[in-house]
Every structure is written in structure tokens, then in C-alpha cells.
Structure 1
């Protein structure tokens, strides 16, 4: 290939990837919509979910642990927080030291699955050098989860990686994939078995967006970044199955209905042969009677009105896209702004409404095996302590004691877990969406229903 044709080809690739990235970024700030024509089998939520369903909570290391080691995100917060651009991460909610009480709180609610991530930067502070004390500390955390009768769901990388890898180009480095493979071998050999589940890399598309935020990648790196993620996932999947042939492994992705068929081609379709279940993160919906998602464009997440019914849409989409694969809601939650919402939506109501639609999906035959509530406690939301997702509220910036204070979500989740969902007479409290912007016109005349097959949600 001549120099000119190579340059032209490079520009074409850059244009295609930039266009793809632009579409993904556009959708990332827009919420989700209910599925048109959902085939409800009858009135109410359906029967309680079967015994063995995974009722979980979710956390991530950098966001809750504190005492954070040198990593891509620690460097970014250290550099930007003095100028007020982001909140300093500090000790977060100090889960590193307070894990016994937090794990006990999860168990007390009846939770049977505890999602956490282990910090690669803590375990491998220098290339090829592993910290025995950090590994032993994670041993104690994971043993505590098992000891309370819960299954660990371990995320290998949740947006963070060691500072030394950042110095070498981060996930774009030629060293990144083999280094991740060695890390995956180490942690799966140590913690696989006894039902432990695995998420290899958290939300690849959002991961790329974060890497852009901290200056680690540029738009034209989109294609290579995704190639690296796919290659890394394959190594993580293989490592988990070498350590435990019965391991359940996934790579989770956010549900983005305005472009989900497209985003599936970026990650989901490329790893469909190496996932044991489909992991979904679902947070927002958009419809003609709910355009509040625009607030997410300037990070005012608590101003976005939640649409719990759209979890049904997410489940239906992935069941169609990846038939035969079990489906797990790896993350779902509702933010407040420092503990408050202008619309007054209650966390307990949000959880009960969500359980209603989970039960409806199961009753309608969708292969849903689990649900994780994000998050057990308030945490560091990638630059800010303002968005609060915790079942337990923690005022990190104003309370040195880091007291965990239960929200209404704690009792609601305890009841949901104990009963396998909500009762047959429960009806959603929050107004549903009408006319999904992703499926007009069908969703306007054939919406998902509360009372029987074809009764539209009230707007």
C-alpha cells in the first residue's frame, strides 16, 4: 500500500470510529425506553421468583475502599481535585477497613450475592510484583462474603488499572492484554470455586468514555481500545474456566436502547461465545412523557425521573439478541443528589416497582437469574460524591465517622428478597413511560402493561 493510500485508509478508519463513538456518547447521556408490545401473560407482577435467584448488591473497589494505590484514576483525582474540578476521593467510605460491617449489613437484608471489584493496582503495584498483604486482605474480604452465605461476584477491572500501566499507554499498550491475562490467572486461581462468579471488565463503552475524561485515550483510539478489551475478556474468561470449569463469567454492558442493536456489535456480538450469562446494567428510560434524561447530559442524574418498567425492555432485548443465555441485571439503581430528589421519588418505591417488572419478565418466560442493586453504600461516583445510589447513605464529605444510615431501600429490599419479589396485588407507584423514543410508533399503541396484556401504563 502506498503512503497516500495508507493515510487515506487511516483517515477512513478514524472517521468510522469517530462516528461510532459519537453515536455511543450521544446515547450514553440518554435514558432507556420500555419495550413496545411486551407480551404480558396476565395481571400483576407474576409469581415470586424461584429459589436460587441471585438477589445481590454491588460495589467497586476504587469507589468504596479508600487507601487507594497508584492507578489511572488516583492520578486523575490527585491532579484535578485541588483545583475543585472533582471531589477528592480520600478514603471513600473506607470499605477496605469496614468491610466486616458492610458485608454483615448486606447479609442481614437477605442478600445472597455480593459484587465487588479487586484493585489490580493494589495487587500488582509494580510489573510482575504482587503484594502478598493486599492479596491476603482480599482473602479476608472474600472469606467474609462466603462466611455470610453469599456468593462473591468479582469484577476483575472496574475502570481502574495500575499507574505503571498508565505510564506505558494504559489499555492501549501492547503490554496491557498479556499483563491483564497474568493478573486474571492469579486472582482466578486464588478465588475461583465455591460458586464465585466473574465480571471481566466493567462497561467497556463507558470505560472508554472515562479514559477520554482522564486523558488516557483520544476518539481515534476507539477501535483499538475495544479490540484490547475483547482480547482481555477472552483471557479472563479462559482463566476463570481453567480455575473452575463451572465458573459463571460475563462482561457487563449498559442498556442503551436508542442504539443497543449497534452497541451490541461493538462488544456483545464479539464475545457471545465466551460469556456464560448476559450481564446488563440498566438505569434510565426515555419516552414522550418523560424527557428528563436530558439532565444526564450535565451530570444531574438525580433530576432524571426513573422508569423501572424499562428493565423489562432491557431483559427482552438481550433475550432476543442472545437466545439461550441466562440474563443477570448486574447493576441497577437510582441516584439522589446528596440524599435528596426534587421529584420526591422514594428509594423503597423504586425498588418495589423494579421487582414488579423483574417478576413480570420471569413470569413471561425470560431467563433472568439475578439482580444486583447498585449500590450497598454511597460511593465515589467518578469525580463526585453528590450522586448517591446507596441503600445506606454515607456523607463522605461532611461526616468523618462515615456513619452508614439506612434509606427506605433497606427495608424494601429485605422484604423483596424474603418474599421473592412483591405480592400479587402490588402495582407500580411511579408513572410509567408512554411512547418509547426508540420504538415509535409501535410503543405508542402497544406499550408494556401493568394490568393484563394491553392496558397502557398511566403517564
Structure 2
């Protein structure tokens, strides 16, 4: 019945075209994004800080042979001033980072003042650089003592997370922070199951507690920091996005100030390479998919603005990609489709590139996403080396996007399957 309902809804959208049917491309090309469009970079605590305290993910890396040790990672813990300055030099306006619950509360009710002071200084550096902090409260990582009580299988964790979130929010209220409660909750639950901390039978209860935890945090943020904008960013999964939405985002839709979207790959009749990721390969980039993902959520949540909280391109240890795309071309092509989305009436208000530097990709240092590449395993100095993405991103930020006559490197897909059948039957062109 859900499939039938979805098909009927798509047919209805075809007849009413509203946001779903964009205007034809203009002869004079794409217009710049508005001055208040937010350009950002993303990162997370566990992936970049290094030398983390006891947590669920530190245990996974230490106990499972298929995962590399995280070690010092790119040492954001001690080099945050450098990385924040690199972002500011590009003209970045939003700096997303995560506060690690395990760092600030290493035991129940015991707050580590030195680690809180560290995050105070991170926030201060972001603000002093003229950027807005976007703070993630939970990026898949919780303290070891929370894991010992069953993680999100336990009602205690809902109570403990709420107390942690309230303490952090109260600390930074009034500073113009944008808040992300949970990073990609559907993948958070998947990884807990995949790593043996929960079972598929536990999934409904995990999602229920995560949704209630988001709601509690959302309410407190608006009580303590009324002007703040709050989201829980979602991992966009093509083909059946509505199925994954039902697990979490649909439950909290009334408690979002913007829809945070993480877009990494697409699927179309002429690009089925997403299947490569099942065996650790790299999918060919499909930049126009970001347009269809935005259009899907513009139709689903017409009263909420949209923000690409993560979008990035991986290489394997810096080697050339199978699709031959450079990081600069990846950024420019995706920004082009953001501009197309705005021209077609889609209220997309911001874009964060993932990530400012390479980092620990949940078990491996092989995938490299950074605007600045860092050879964690081969360079003891952890030198930040700029990729082609640095100049390209600085240019699109300065210009509000790509030039009007920009011709995307990756051609528009043939029958996008981002949100079928609509994304195929009503193409952007």
C-alpha cells in the first residue's frame, strides 16, 4: 500500500507541477546564489580530534580486526585553530564540528572541565573568525559508560543524553549557534547493529528513543536559545528516500527549523555505480542528484528551508577516481545544481562541504574527503596539503556560485532514480 500511495502522489505532482516541475533552463545560465546563502565546511569530533576517551566507537576500533586504529587522527584536538583559520581563509561562513559526549562527561555526572574549556576555545575561534558555529551534539559516538548500560537500547540513555544536551546548549546559548541534534540517525542505528551493539529487533526502540531525545533537545534549545535553528541531518538514500524517512525524520518533522540533508551519491539509468560501495568501491559522482534530492524534500516539507549539511567526494588515498573527477570539478558541478534549485523556487539556504580535512572514516583512513589532504599514516607532521578543492570552493563562495555560462563536467543523468518515478519523468531540464 505504501508503494501504491507513493506512485499516486507522484502522479498528482506531475499534474500540479508547482515546485516539482522546474522552469526550463534560462538562456543566460544560472544566477548567483543570494548574499545570505550560507557556505560551510563540516567535520566531526571522533573522526578528526584523535586520542579519544572510552566510547562505543573507540571500542569498535580496538576490538575489531577489520578496523584501523584511530590514533591521533588529524589531531583537531590540538590543531583546531589552524583548521578554523584555513576555513576562514576560503571565506567559509559556517563551521560545523561535533562535541564529543565521551570527552566532556567521561563518567556519569562527572564533567571534565579541561575538555569543556577546549570546546569553549573552539567556539571562540569560530566566532572570532567571523563564522557561525554549527554544533553536532551526537555524531554516532557515545561514552563507554553509556555503551555499558546498553546504549540506546536503554531508557537511561535517553535521560542521560538529555542532561548532556541541556548542559551543552546552556553553555553556548545566545552565541548564534546552529544545532544538529543527531547526525544521520538511520545510519547511527545501522552502525550500532552492524557493530554488534544492538540487533534488528532493537531498531524500533532505538529510533523511538532517538526521536524522543531530539524532541527534548529541540524544546530545550528553543527555551534556552529562542532564535537558534535546529535540525537532525539525514543521510539521503536514493531510490526509496520515503522508506528511510519513515524511520526517523517523519517523526520529528514538526520539530525542525530546517531540513539538513547529506548528499553523496545518486542512481540513474546511465549510472548504476552506487552498487560499487557495497564492496568498498567508489560510485561515480552524480551531481544533478543533489537537485532531485532537494526537490523531493521541498515537496515533502514545503514550509521548511533546506540545507546541504554534508556533501563530499572520496578518493582512495588520494588516487585518481574511476570517474576521473577532480575535487574542484565535483564542487563546481554540485554548486551549479544548487543554483538551478534556487532558480526553480527551492528554498535551499546553505551548503557544507565534507570535510575541511581528511579524517578517520569509521574504520579506515583510505577514503580521503578533505579539501586539505592529510596523510595520517605516512606523515608524522600531519601537514594540511591543499587540494584543487580549496581554490574552487573559495571561488564559488566569493562569486555566489559558478559563472552564468558554466557547463557541468558531469552530464545530466538519463532518468534519475533519486526519487522515482518523479525524478525520471519530470527532469530538471
User: What's the TM-score, normalizing by structure 2?
Assistant: 0.93
- 1:43 and 1:395 mapped to 2: Cα distance? 44
> In 1, are the aligned partners of 2:182 and 2:232 still within 8 Å (CA)?
yes
Match 1:325 to one of 294, 297, 304? 304
- Who is 1:248 aligned against? 229
Q: 1:239–1:272: structure 2 CA closer, same or farther, 3 Å change rule?
A: same
Report the count of equivalent residues: 410
Tell me the SS of whatever aligns to 2:109: coil
- Who is 2:334 aligned against? 354
Ranges in structure 2 where 5+ consecutive residues have no aligned partner = 1-18
Whether 2:48 is the aligned partner of 1:69: answer no
> In 1, are the aligned partners of 2:286 and 2:410 still within 8 Å (CA)?
yes
Match 2:98 to one of 117, 126, 129? 117
Q: 1:79–1:142: structure 2 CA closer, same or farther, 3 Å change rule?
A: same
- Who is 1:345 aligned against? 325
Report Cα offsets for 1:389-411 as digits up to 9, x if no partner.
10000111111111110000000
> In 2, are the aligned partners of 1:45 and 1:422 still within 8 Å (CA)?
no
- CA RMSD in angstroms comes to 1.5
- 1:439 and 1:245 mapped to 2: Cα distance? 35
- 2:226 and 2:105 mapped to 1: Cα distance? 26
- Who is 2:218 aligned against? 237
Tell me the SS of whatever aligns to 1:425: coil
- 1:320 and 1:444 mapped to 2: Cα distance? 16
Report Cα offsets for 1:326-361 as digits up to 9, x if no partner.
100000011101112133210001101111111111
- Who is 2:368 aligned against? 388
> In 1, are the aligned partners of 2:313 and 2:327 still within 8 Å (CA)?
yes
Whether 2:37 is the aligned partner of 1:53: answer yes
- 1:159 and 1:36 mapped to 2: Cα distance? 33
Tell me the SS of whatever aligns to 2:155: coil
> In 2, are the aligned partners of 1:36 and 1:448 still within 8 Å (CA)?
no
Match 1:408 to one of 388, 393, 406? 388
Report Cα offsets for 1:165-218 as digits up to 9, x if no partner.
000000111111111110111000111223210000010110011111221110
User: What's the TM-score, normalizing by structure 1?
Assistant: 0.87
> In 2, are the aligned partners of 1:45 and 1:356 still within 8 Å (CA)?
no
Superposed, 1:285-304 pairs within 5 Å as 285-300=266-281, 303-304=282-283
- 1:292 and 1:36 mapped to 2: Cα distance? 26
- 1:89 and 1:441 mapped to 2: Cα distance? 42
Ranges in structure 1 where 5+ consecutive residues have no aligned partner = 1-34, 450-459
